[in-house]
Amino acid sequence: MLNIDVLVAEIGSTTTIVNAFNGIRTSCPEFLGQGIAPTTVEDGDVTVGLKNAIKDLEQQVEDKIQWGKIMASSSAAGGLKMTVHGLVYDMTVKAAKEAALGAGAIIRMVTAGMLTLADLKKISEIKPNIILIAGGVDYGEKDTVIYNAKKITELKMDIPVIYAGNIAARDEIGEIFKDKNQIFFVDNVYPRIDELVVEPARKVIQQVFEEHIIKAPGMEKIRTFVDGPIMPTPGAVMNAAKALKEEIGDLLVVDVGGATTDVHSVAENSEEIAKILIAPEPEAKRTVEGDLGIFINRYHVIEIVGYEKSTKILGFDVKEALEKLPPIPSTPQEIKLAEYLTQIACKTGLERHAGKIKYLFGPAGKYAIATGKDLTKVKWIIGTGGALTKLPRGKKILESLRCPEKSEKLLPTQNARVLIDSNYIMASLGVLCSRYSSEGIILLKKDLSINENFCI
């Protein structure tokens, strides 16, 4: 019988992965192995797939196992669906959206200003797991958030509500939701002009997610099996990225999957860009590109470049090859196509995530402004997810994302170095970091092949 300190399960919509770690609470933690099995949400009990993944792990380590603690992340049961409602899009709505995405949410709807009948109908159709209301700097305009709160209660939906708006409206918001929806109050995400405060909202979103996920169809028994925290998988990746940034500096994480491409950055602005930035950006930012997946959304990805041009580049009929492409490519042609799709998804996702410099003309002549996230100080580009960790050219694809010279796009420079999540365990280590931070950091460095002197 093999004793394991901690198991971390990653429960996806189709696949459940279990990673085993020993040496927890020592200076030499180690990754022992990984088990994989189909997720069983649709069968009504996700623990069946979890147990099958543990059986697969036992085959990998060639022994029966017992463990001290099991923790988990999940994107199953539809993930964490949220709607976000603020006052002005470029201010409070953007801040609320950053908080939600950074926590690992899937944003299904964003509104600015007073909710319309059409907005309310759409909220009812989406059936979000959480509703986030924001709006107004502290002690500023509060009529909009109060109106929106009243309209949301009229929907009579038993959905948790997070209020992250004008502090002066809290008492009235509390009265509106009294005995109706579960209400959580957090710091205003946009308390003053040009100031973002997103971390308090992110923490509460993850807490509410854990309460929600154990009530989702097929997930009801998960709490009987998992005795540690349950985090949204994208939020776990962000947690790992933030922990790692404190150790090695500004970084970027790219995760290309079958349906989406996620980009996480934990980076500060350069002094040059900070002087011309017209709106604040969070230090930790996540974007999700729902049209950039290399299996489910492979046709959308090819359309970015075009079928004719792609066929010339690859040297075979792309349309025919796309039809036959399996979820896990194996032949040389399938691998070549998957790598090509991954390259397009990475480049497009990063350009959407990054900010840019714009040149305007005023009374004093031409001047520059910056909008969006500044990635020019990024030291490390990290690849995670199935495509970048399993395909042969994953590292080369990430190296190609570096900007060779000064550009109007605020992209990583040639000085940025590329790392690969070699064991595909970054999300699990993000979960581990929530309870065992020092051990999680050591394991992250091992997985990314970084020694204490930052040598690769």
Runs of H (alpha helix) within 315-415: 318-324, 332-353, 385-390, 394-399
**2-77+217-228 and 81-213 share one fold:** no
H/E run at residue 290: none
Question: In the chain, helix, strand, coil percent, each to 5?
Answer: 40, 25, 35
The residue type found at 55 is K
- List CB contacts of 36: < 8 A, sequence separation 6 or more: 15, 16, 17, 18, 53, 56
In contact, 356 and 228? CB cutoff 8 Å: no
Please report, in tens digits, the pLDDT of each residue of the chain (456 residues total): 899 999 999 998 778 999 999 999 999 999 999 999 988 877 778 889 999 999 999 999 999 999 999 999 988 766 688 999 999 988 889 899 999 888 888 899 999 999 999 999 999 999 998 999 999 999 999 999 999 999 999 999 989 999 999 999 999 999 999 888 789 999 999 999 888 899 999 999 988 888 777 777 777 788 888 887 789 889 999 999 999 999 999 999 999 988 889 999 999 999 999 899 988 889 999 998 888 989 988 999 999 999 999 999 999 999 999 999 998 899 999 999 999 999 999 999 999 999 999 998 888 888 898 999 999 999 999 999 889 999 999 999 999 999 987 788 999 999 999 999 999 999 999 999 999 999 999 999 999 998 765 555
Closest CA to 210 of 239, 227, 232, 233: 232
CATH 3.30.420 fits 231-421, yes or no: yes
Top CATH class of 2-77+217-228 equals: alpha beta
Closest CA to 91 of 275, 274, 280: 280
**116: its two tokens:** 């319309």
- Ranges of each domain in the chain: 2-77+217-228, 81-213, 231-421
How many residues are present in the chain? 456
pTM for this entry: 0.88
Closest CA to 197 of 95, 266, 76: 95
Q: What CATH number does domain 81-213 carry, 3.40.630.40, 3.40.190.10, 3.40.50.300, 3.40.50.2300? A: 3.40.50.2300
